[in-house]
Chains A and B, each alone.
Chain A
Amino acid sequence: MSDLKELYKEVILDHNRNPRNCYIMDCATRTADGHNPLCGDTVKVYLRIEDGIIEEISFQGHGCAICTASTSLMTESVRGKTVEEAQGLFDEFHLMLTGVAEEQGIEMGKLMVFEGVREYPVRVKCATLAWHTLHAAMEEKKENVSTE
């Protein structure tokens, strides 16, 4: 039970219950679809980018608690950031889930709640799907993102 609380932290459970920025954005300048074929998680990320800044971000989709909370927290983390800054956060998020961030002393703020996921290798993709999808939207990739 205590191990499980390391994975399912209160913040994660809260964002799963009440995901932030979860709506269809009519005025999006870019969108991308992500899919985890292994478990059927899907996420669509909407972006309104103006002058290289993410002015607005939202998402729609369905997935497990890790996927939903990760997407919700991601939208909060990158709003107001430049595309480059968001890309940098994605890279650091990756480093955190592979354990490298800790070695390098990278501070992830509230995204640190996902640190526990790295003890569950099959669930890492649940946490990263949203970020891969965001990356695709920023790069304006046309094809669907897949975690496989």
Chain B
Amino acid sequence: MMSEHLTARPFDVEAIRADFPALHQQVHGHPLVYLDNAATTQKPRTVIDAVRGFYENDCSNVHRGVHALSQRATVAYESSRTVIKNHVGARDSREIVFTRSTTESINLVAHSFVRPRLKEGDEVLITTMEHHSNIVPWQLLCQQTGAKLRVVPISDEGEIIMEEYAKLLNDRTRIVGVVHISNALGTVNPVKDMIQLAHEQGIPVLVDGAQALPHLPVDVQDLDCDFYAFSAHKVYGPTGIGALYGKRAHLLEMTPYQSGGDMILSVTFDETHFNEPPHLFEAGTPNIEGALGFAKALEYLQSVGIEATQAHEKHLLDQATEAVLEVPGIRLVGRARQRAGALSFVMEGIHPHDIGTILDQEGVAVRAGHHCAQPVMQRYKLSATVRASFALYNRSDEIEALVKGLHTVREVFG
């Protein structure tokens, strides 16, 4: 069940589009142009079939039944973990913990790894361009422990200022949290260099990889990150399932985050013997069909080829950057040298929400808002931007539709 898609095929955007049922619809009388992929991606048929197939054939609980269905479900669930482990280059499947989301993965690290070692006066270091999911858990933890949240500044172009980062690392820093690709700016951060700098001082690093997985080859061993948090739905998989990669030695040190069934070996009213990681962190019946869909999504991406995807998306991003800038009054927000996936911009005198509504009327789906990254909006003195974000199934003519829509915005507002 794992290897049917592993051989890369020639990149053919029409063939790819045929795999995504939701792309073939009309919105307000126009063909759907889906450019909100950083919010969530559409799902290929193989993922939809895997989720449905679980309920049609193998529906049962995992890790407990002796009957055939439960055994099939358990094998499929654990095989999915292996697919994920291989995709991100982990050493061992036991380093992959299933969670609900990237957010839950970060919360798990905050509560089970960082909290026990955080004292008053210690520091947690994040960057200005983090998503709320990589800010709020640390903020709460700091409030509860008396630790300080420190923030690495970014440049006007939307790049982390590495000299400042190096200065902020110190002997009170207990963890660094950094986003691999910014969902709001599209910046690809030099996480490998950042991890190396932190490790020189013995500081562990968590990378928020939610936006990176669909756009880049990710190798956690090469990065040498301590934790890598990600979710399925940003990379063509189902919603409601994510994962945390954690170095085995770290996971073995961590205490449970939630407790209950499936994370135990034996329970009496006097004491409980806990299961090992990753099961220790997967209390309760898991999102089995989500795990199956997650694996199928990664296999789909592998079948298209991550390098081919990267090249295709780079072409789209370059084309979109150039075309959008030709519309009068447009200013890009985030002009980092290394960008992927998303293009954020504002239009002089016109609020992003009005732009979003008008584009929607032309069938073009974009995100207009703060992208759950309000501090980065504040950095640029904005309340919102328009974001067009790309996936492997987007086409050049969809960028033309976006630009045509932006001209309509100009016409409406005169």
A: residues with CB less than 8 A from B are 1, 3-5, 7-8, 13, 38-42, 62-68, 120, 122-123, 126
Contact = CB atoms under 8 A, between A and B. Distances in A.
Contact of B357 (A40, A42, A123): A123
Interface stretch (B244-252, B388-396, B406-414): B406-414
A55 to B, nearest CB: 31
Contacts of B361: 3-4
Given A63-B351, A65-B354, A123-B357, A40 B377 contact: yes
B414 A42 contact: no
Nearest to B358: A4
A67 B384 CA distance: 14
A123 B383 contact: no
Residue in B354, B361, B368, B384 whose Cβ sees the most chain A Cβ within 10 Å: B354
Interface string B316-354: 000000000000000000000000000000000011111
Contacts of B357: 7, 120, 122-123
Contacts of A39: 352-353, 368-370, 383-384
A62 B353 CA distance: 12
Given A4-B408, A41-B353, A64-B354, 18 more contacts: A3-B28, A4-B358, A4-B361, A8-B354, A8-B358, A8-B413, A39-B352, A39-B369, A39-B383, A39-B384, A40-B374, A41-B383, A64-B351, A65-B351, A66-B353, A120-B357, A122-B357, A123-B357
Given A3-B361, A40-B377, A66-B354, A8 B383 contact: no
A3 B362 CA distance: 11
Contacts of B370: 39-40
A13 B414 contact: yes
Interface in B360-390: 361, 368-370, 374, 377, 383-384
Interface residues of B, number: 21
Contacts of A3: 28, 361
13 contacts: A3-B28, A4-B358, A4-B361, A7-B357, A8-B412, A13-B412, A39-B370, A40-B383, A41-B353, A41-B383, A64-B353, A65-B354, A65-B413
Contacts of B368: 39
Nearest to A66: B354
Nearest to B377: A40
A62 B354 contact: no
B369 A40 contact: yes
Contacts of B383: 39-42, 62
A62 B368 CA distance: 15
Contacts of B28: 3
A8 B414 CA distance: 11
A1 B408 CA distance: 8
A65 B350 contact: yes
Nearest to B408: A1
Contacts of B353: 39, 41, 64, 66, 123, 126
Contacts of A40: 369-370, 374, 377, 383-384
Nearest to B414: A13
A50 to B, nearest CB: 34
Contacts of A68: 351
Residue in A3, A39, A68 whose Cβ sees the most chain B Cβ within 10 Å: A39
A59 B383 CA distance: 18
B401 to A, nearest CB: 15
Contacts of B354: 8, 64-66
A39 B353 CA distance: 7
Contacts of A1: 408, 411-412
The 10 tightest CB contacts between A and B, nearest first, are A40-B383, A64-B351, A64-B353, A65-B354, A39-B353, A64-B354, A40-B384, A8-B412, A40-B370, A4-B412
A60 to B, nearest CB: 14
A85 B357 CA distance: 33
A13 B411 CA distance: 12
Given A4-B361, A4-B412, A5-B412, A38 B351 contact: no
A3 B369 CA distance: 23
A105 B377 CA distance: 44
Contact of B369 (A38, A66, A123): A38
Contacts of A120: 357
A13 B351 CA distance: 12
A56 to B, nearest CB: 27
Contacts of A64: 351-354
A62 B382 CA distance: 10
B380 to A, nearest CB: 13
A8 B370 CA distance: 23
A123 B354 CA distance: 9
B408 A13 contact: no
A132 B374 CA distance: 23
Contacts of B411: 1
B365 to A, nearest CB: 13
